[in-house]
């Protein structure tokens, strides 16, 4: 049987839990918003046993996430392994294409990806994202310009958006 390696670690914005294997990351969530149902969903989808053990891919996740939160990394190199409906997978891929430091509303994301009237469905797919930050669902905001919700908490979403915005501003000066 194949394994997923579980690791819990501290970041400047809270404790995070990751599930990885040799081929990439399967799960990344804030520990305080984590549910056992999410872990079981990943285990069931991928038919892998979960063991709590550090793995070189977990170390890479920690390193790249730390660099991102320090403002020295704008792109991740870790493969994201996602499993969902065809629509969800398309939305998650579209999220990865939103440039660092920019935001897009649900309707705009839909229009850019051939789903102009699917804002609500896009929001639902966004909320099913199990790989926070690396699949940047925090970059999607409401059409009125407000930041909207975030599974990791609105204050964390604001932190991430401000981090990226400040990097872009400092880079342009």
Question: Which residue range is the domain that position 139 belongs to?
Answer: 86-172
Q: Both 119 and 151 in a single domain?
A: yes
37 within some domain:
yes
Structure tokens given for 82:
């996602």
78 within some domain:
no
Q: What is the CATH number of the domain that holds 125?
A: 1.10.10.10
Burial of 1 (0-12, 13-18, 19+ CB in 10 A): exposed
Q: Both 56 and 90 in a single domain?
A: no
Q: Both 52 and 91 in a single domain?
A: no
- The answer to whether 66 is a known catalytic residue is no
Distance CA 109, CA 129 (A): 15
Which residue carries 């975030």 as its tokens? Answer: 150
41 within some domain:
yes
Neighbouring C-beta atoms of residue 66, cutoff 10 Å:
15
Determine which one of 122, 135, 137, 163 is catalytic.
137
Distance CA 74, CA 111 (A): 25
Average the pLDDT over 112-122 and give the result: 91
Q: Are strands 104-105 and 24-30 parallel, antiparallel or unpaired?
A: unpaired
143 within some domain:
yes
Q: Both 94 and 159 in a single domain?
A: yes
pLDDT bin (cut points 50, 70, 90) of residue 59 is very high
Percent above pLDDT 90 for the chain: 84
Q: What is the pLDDT of residue 161?
A: 97
CA 113 to chain centre: 19
Q: In terms of pTM, does the model score above 0.85?
A: yes
Which of 35, 70, 105 represents a domain boundary (last residue)? 70
- Sign of the torsion angle spanned by Cα atoms 79, 11, 31, 167: negative
């Amino acid at each position: 049987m194949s394994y997923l390696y579980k690791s819990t670690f501290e970041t400047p914005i809270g404790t995070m839990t990751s599930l990885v294997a040799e081929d990439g990351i399967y799960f990344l969530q804030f520990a305080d918003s984590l549910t056992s149902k999410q872990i079981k969903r990943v285990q069931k989808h991928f038919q892998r046993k979960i063991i709590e053990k550090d793995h070189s891919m977990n170390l890479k996740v920690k390193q790249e996430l730390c660099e991102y939160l320090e403002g020295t990394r704008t792109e991740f190199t870790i493969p994201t392994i996602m499993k969902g409906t065809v629509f969800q997978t398309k939305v998650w891929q579209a999220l990865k294409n939103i440039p660092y430091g920019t935001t897009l509303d649900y309707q705009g994301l839909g229009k850019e990806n051939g789903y102009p009237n699917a804002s609500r469905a896009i929001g639902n797919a966004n909320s099913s994202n199990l790989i926070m930050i690396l699949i940047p669902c925090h970059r999607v905001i409401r059409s009125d310009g407000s930041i909207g919700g975030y599974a990791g908490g609105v204050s964390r979403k604001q932190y991430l958006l401000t981090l990226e915005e400040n990097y872009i501003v400092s880079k342009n000066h």
